[in-house]
Structure 1
Amino acid sequence: MNDHTVKSYDEELAHLSGQIVRMGGLAEAQFAAAIQALARRDQELARRVVDGDCRIDELDHDVQTFAVRLLALRQPMAGDLRQIVGALNISGEIERIGDYAANIAKRSKVLDQLPVSVPVDGVVRLGELVRGLIKDIIDAYADRDVDKALRVWSRDEEVDAAYNTVFGDLIKGMTADSGAITASTHLLFIAKNIERIGDHATNIAEALHYQIIGVPPHGERPKGNTVGAGE
């Protein structure tokens, strides 16, 4: 390839990476707002999270279209191929984070309308833990930081343990007060959504490791057994 073609190709790869970083930042902001809406019983903020999910979907579509065009026109090899295919995979993971953030916001709106209020502190703390993972993995992607990606990957077990604690506390509360069952059930689904967002963050960490190094992280992902069902 001549110098002009190489420069153009490099710019295209940089644009693709920039779109992933932008999409990840938006998903992190959406998730943070959903947790904030839950903590503050903020109906308007929850509504904005639900309405804002379409922006992540649009970016996902743009990334998918651009990446497929690069594959067709540039016929990349080795590291470039891994970068483009990785962007396709990571974009899908981020899109799911956005979907779960919208689900959390929808349930928080329902919670605000119920006559019985239940403590949300444990769920909020779980959300803050997972938000940190999202921020770290998007930073790792932007900086091509394999070590940071591995640290995110290794914390999946920590998220599972925190989720199990929240689940157990909510079940105890439901057992002690049958009037809180409906509200607590919504919180159980919210907690499971958060735990799954953590899974998507660690999936991104695996994809990024493979994208940069060419092999997946060594060994089995540290993961605890989780309880309960999500959506």
Structure 2
Amino acid sequence: MSDELKNELRRSRHLQRSLDRLQSDLLSLFGIVEQMINKSVRSLYQRDINLADEVIKSDEIVDQREVAIEDDCLNLLALHQPVASDLRWTTTVIKVNSDLERMADLACNIAERAKALTHFPLFPIPDDFETMVSEATTMVSRALDSFVETNTSLAFSVMRSDERVDELNRSLIQELREIMKRDPDSVEPALHCFSAARHLERIADLAENISEDVVFLVEGEIIRHKPEEHGRSTPRPDSGS
């Protein structure tokens, strides 16, 4: 075996190790962010300040890991100069990494609203909020699965779910408006709930973004701002190139 071929094989092994480490780090970050979202919602329902504070404290860990993953991606691009699918995968990681950090920020915002709602223990959270939580957290979980499995069918199902979350958000806003009209004393807690719902809706949007990135990863096609593509449930015949 020539020295040139040996060096090429060595570079390939180093690149694969770097890619594997990046995937492991990103999946770990995904787990932390999912836990933050779930805890923030629980703290809202339970009016649990301690749980809300746990979410807020976790944000520093997410920020540190987000920066570390981005640095690793940039170093990988500079040192290994990946091409084709490896290049697509690395750029996708950079985008997903950023979306996860934003999700964590939104979970912290929900936790802050939960802390504010502890002053209103009798204020009932509308039923649509619970349904919205279920839909949004399922979107986040399925977006992760679509990334891990590079499954575009799953990614498209996440995108289609976003409209349902938007509908629930609109319904919830209308219900909160009616509550505020009937009872002026409910204005402040209703606004806190309104804000939490908006943050949850944004988390669902970011899950949709990640799913769009999965389509780019698999098919090399940018479908952002192309709503007509979101209804597609199967990859194109030439996908995976």
TM-score, structure 1 as length reference: 0.91
Deviations along 1:75-102, one digit per CA (max 9) or x if unpaired, are: 1112111111111111110100000000
Structure 2 stretches of 5 or more lacking a match? Answer: 1-6, 232-241
For 2:41, the equivalent position in structure 1 comes to: 35
Partner amino acid for 1:198? A
Separation of aligned partners in 2, 1:120 and 1:157 = 19
Deviations along 1:162-199, one digit per CA (max 9) or x if unpaired, are: 11111111111111111100000011010000001110
Separation of aligned partners in 2, 1:54 and 1:8 = 30
1:65 paired residue among 47, 53, 71:
71
For 2:105, the equivalent position in structure 1 comes to: 99
Shift of 1:120: 4.5
**Preserved contact between residue 118 and residue 183 of structure 1 (Cα < 8 Å):** no
Structure 1 stretches of 5 or more lacking a match? Answer: 224-231
For 2:89, the equivalent position in structure 1 comes to: 83
Shift of 1:126: 1.2
CA distance 1:31–1:177, change in 2 (3 Å): same
> Which moves more between the two structures, 116-125 or 209-218?
116-125
Partner amino acid for 1:79? S
Separation of aligned partners in 2, 1:155 and 1:116 = 32
Shift of 1:160: 0.4
> Which moves more between the two structures, 5-14 or 26-35?
5-14
Deviations along 1:20-59, one digit per CA (max 9) or x if unpaired, are: 2111111111000100111111111111011111111111
For 1:171, the equivalent position in structure 2 comes to: 177
Separation of aligned partners in 2, 1:6 and 1:75 = 11
Report the RMSD for the aligned CA atoms in angstroms.
1.8
Please tell me whether Structure 1 or Structure 2 has the larger radius of gyration of its CA atoms.
Answer: 2
Shift of 1:141: 1.1
CA distance 1:185–1:15, change in 2 (3 Å): same
1:112 paired residue among 90, 98, 118:
118
Separation of aligned partners in 2, 1:14 and 1:140 = 17
Separation of aligned partners in 2, 1:217 and 1:132 = 22
**Preserved contact between residue 150 and residue 218 of structure 2 (Cα < 8 Å):** yes
**Preserved contact between residue 104 and residue 193 of structure 1 (Cα < 8 Å):** yes
Separation of aligned partners in 2, 1:136 and 1:19 = 18
Separation of aligned partners in 2, 1:49 and 1:185 = 21
**Preserved contact between residue 83 and residue 211 of structure 1 (Cα < 8 Å):** yes
Question: Percentage identity across aligned positions?
Answer: 25
Structure having greater relative contact order (Cα 8 Å, sep ≥ 6): 1
Separation of aligned partners in 2, 1:80 and 1:10 = 9
**Preserved contact between residue 47 and residue 121 of structure 2 (Cα < 8 Å):** no
Shift of 1:154: 1.7
Q: How many residues align?
A: 223
Separation of aligned partners in 2, 1:40 and 1:116 = 11
Separation of aligned partners in 2, 1:51 and 1:15 = 25
TM-score, structure 2 as length reference: 0.87
**Preserved contact between residue 150 and residue 217 of structure 1 (Cα < 8 Å):** no
